[in-house]
Amino acid sequence: MSEQSHGETSRLTIDYRNSMADAVGPEHGVSDAMLDEIAPRVAAGHARLVAEHEAGGQSWMDLPSDTALVADINAFAAEARQHYKDFILIGIGGSSLGAIATVQALAHPFRNVQAKETRGGPRFFVLDNPDPEKVAATLAIVDLEQTLVNVVTKSGQTAETMANFLAARQALESAVGTEQARRQIVATTDPKEGLLRALADQEGYRTFPVPPGVDGRMTVLSAVGLLPAALCGCDIEGLLAGARAMRSRTASGDVRENPAYLLAALCILANTRLGKSMLVTMPYSDALFGLTDWFRQLWAESLGKRLSLDNAEVFTGQTPIKALGAIDQHSQIQLYTEGPNDKLISLIAVGEYRDHVTVEDVPAGIPELDYLQGAELGQLLQREQLATAWALTEAQRPNFTIGVPAIDAAMLGELFYLYELQTVMGGALLNVNPFGQPGVEAGKNATYALMGRRGYETLKDEVLAKSGDDDRYRVGGG
């Protein structure tokens, strides 16, 4: 079956019995009574969401249907994949994490060292952190004459992105000249507003839109995530088909029927009623580790809020943690199993890995290794996931398992949409606005001030006044 044909039916499963009181005890598990109690709030949140969507808001929900955009991106990407040897994505937070997650999930794990024909497109580099060592190394390793730069910023002004971009732009200009450099830049930004929009118009870059009215962390299914994914040869139609499948599956306002609302309810109940202030996401798949990074930002920035919708100080949020199975069984599980019982743990199980490795030759004379004779590594990982779920449950640590029959574009699309809706419902249940990030803006503005941006002079004085040295609390440094 092709990805597209199966993409329209949701295949994801959720097994949440280990997060229930029956499995881990009433002190740590959600009860059926709690789910019954929260059900009307979920239904009310759903009704509000539907009404807002019908009134033209919540436009992140429409992204999976933008087939015109997909056609545009695919046309651009098909040509660019042929033409360019290297591709640098420049963006940070919501402007890069979705693309990184997608390429990590869908492309070959060593894509950059594959032969170009097998790879199906340019090598892929990301400049998110303005770390001079990484930026210098990236600009030195790419072939600037054959490099496409995609700069992505919704606001069009984020300091890290603009600084990295200006560094890349000057490297391109020195290598190929001003006019050619401009042809090698594609900007993804607001269609009308912002500094990058102005620069793109001035210098004539090809542009793609960041949809207005959609927060950065919800833009993975727009040009922000889709363009880099298509440039790396990922099936973006499959991705959107999967998201549509999840959108259809999550049409109900019933907490037990709608998987996104069920997860939101479990997480928020665990957080607010059972003291689980942390949410660990632990896929048993290297390919899905980038997804946990993307989700970590989504859950943290959306729900970590000082003010409620009624403007009361609430300081809400559940700290998202990323872990990787089975590696973190040898690093974190000791803490999760025997440390403070303050976490809800979400395991992601893969039904069928895309490759198989079987141990065919266990050396004779070491009977303790016989159990590995004929063992398949995917099966080992699957059993480790089951074993971890069991061990956590035995220790009364609430956990649930998201089942992913296979890792493909449609499944990833399902996961993106599921997590987005779960997060929006999380906001409704916590009575906070899941959109906006006032806590991030404060640091962004202080950075502008410290870097001497015009208009931020007063803030600069304020920041400096509180950043001066205080010998009482400093160790070392002369």
> Which residues are the active-site residues?
301, 330, 444
User: What is the Cα–Cα distance from 180 to 67, expressed in whole angstroms?
Assistant: 31
Q: Based on the shown chain and the rule CB under 6 A, indicate whether residue 440 belongs to the binding site for ligand PA5.
A: yes
Nearer CB in complex with ligand PA5: 93/228: 93
How far is it, in rounded angstroms, from Cα 463 to Cα 457?
A: 10
Site residues (CB under 6 A) for ligand PA5, limited to 195-224: 215-217
The minimum distance between CB 94 and ligand PA5, in angstroms, equals 3
Task: Tell me which DSSP letter residue 311 carries.
Answer: S
Report the nearest approach of ligand PA5 to the CB of residue 225 (Å). Answer: 11
User: Which span (91-99, 167-175, 232-240, 303-311) binds ligand PA5, by CB under 6 A?
Assistant: 91-99
Strand partners, 79: none
Task: Based on the shown chain and the rule CB under 6 A, indicate whether residue 128 belongs to the binding site for ligand PA5.
Answer: no
User: Which of 24, 73, 80, 92 touches ligand PA5 (CB under 6 A)?
Assistant: 92
Smallest separation, CB 215 to ligand PA5 (Å):
5
Taking CB under 6 A as the rule, does residue 155 contact ligand PA5? Answer: yes
Query: Could you tell me the smallest distance in angstroms from the CB atom of residue 154 to ligand PA5?
Result: 4
Helix, strand or coil, per DSSP, at residue 70: helix
Q: DSSP secondary-structure letter at 258?
A: -
Q: How far is the CB of 302 from ligand PA5 (least distance, A)?
A: 8
C-alpha closest to that of 307 among 215, 445, 434 = 434
Considering the complex, state which of residue 93 and residue 225 has its C-beta at the smaller distance from ligand PA5: 93
Scanning 88-96, 177-185, 363-371, 392-400 for contacts with ligand PA5 by CB under 6 A, the matching segment is 88-96
Point out which residues pair with 283 in neighbouring strands: 348
> Residue 93 or 121: which CB sits closer to ligand PA5?
93
Is 437 one of the binding residues for ligand PA5 (CB under 6 A)? yes
Distance, in Å, from the CA atom of 47 to the CA atom of 41, rounded to the nearest integer, reads: 10
And the tokens for 417? 């949409």
- 245-304: contacts with ligand PA5 (CB under 6 A): 301
C-alpha closest to that of 401 among 287, 295, 297, 283 = 283
Total residues binding ligand PA5 (CB under 6 A) = 15
* Residues facing 399 on adjacent strands: 345
Instruction: Please tell me the number of Cα atoms within 13 Å of 412 on its side-chain side.
Output: 33
Please, are residues 261 and 23 in contact by the beta-carbon 8 Å criterion? no
Our CB check for ligand PA5 shows the closer of 72 and 215 to be 215
x/- track of binding to ligand PA5 for residues 157-196 (CB under 6 A): -x--x-----------------------------------
Give the residue, chosen from 7, 64, 94, 121, that forms a contact with ligand PA5 under the rule CB under 6 A.
94
Terminal-to-terminal C-alpha distance of the chain: 67
For ligand PA5, the closer CB: 163 or 406 = 163
* Residue 156 Cβ vs ligand PA5, minimum distance, rounded to whole Å: 7
Q: How far is the CB of 305 from ligand PA5 (least distance, A)?
A: 13
- Shortest reach from residue 224's CB to ligand PA5, in Å: 8
Q: How many CB atoms lie within 10 A of CB 307?
A: 15
Nearest to 11 by CA among 235, 221, 241: 241
Residue 136 and residue 133: Cα distance in Å, rounded? 5
Among 19, 138, 153, 341, binds ligand PA5 (CB under 6 A): 153
CB of 143 to ligand PA5, least distance (A): 27
Nearer to ligand PA5, 217 or 343 (CB): 217
Phi-psi bin for 177: left (phi > 0), alpha (psi -120 to 50), beta? left
State the burial class of residue 433 (Cβ atoms within 10 Å of its Cβ: 0-12, 13-18, 19+). middle
Question: Is 46 among the residues that bind ligand PA5 (CB under 6 A)?
Answer: no
CA atoms within 13 A on the CB side of 417: 31
Sign of CA dihedral 193, 196, 198, 200: negative
Nearest to 138 by CA among 87, 103, 97: 87
Question: Looking at beta carbons only, is 241 or 418 nearer to ligand PA5?
Answer: 418
Residue where the block lists tokens 């229930």: 20
Cβ-based nearer residue to ligand PA5, 270 or 430: 430
Residues 402 and 389: beta-carbon distance below 8 Å: no
The tokens 């949440």 sit on which residue?
16
Q: Specify the stretch interacting with ligand PA5 by CB under 6 A; choose among 37-45, 93-101, 323-331, 359-367.
A: 93-101
Closer of 94 and 325 to ligand PA5 (Cβ): 94
Give the range of 137-145, 154-162, 330-338, 378-386 binding ligand PA5 by CB under 6 A.
154-162
What residues line the site for ligand PA5 (CB under 6 A)? 92-95, 153-155, 158, 161, 215-217, 301, 437, 440
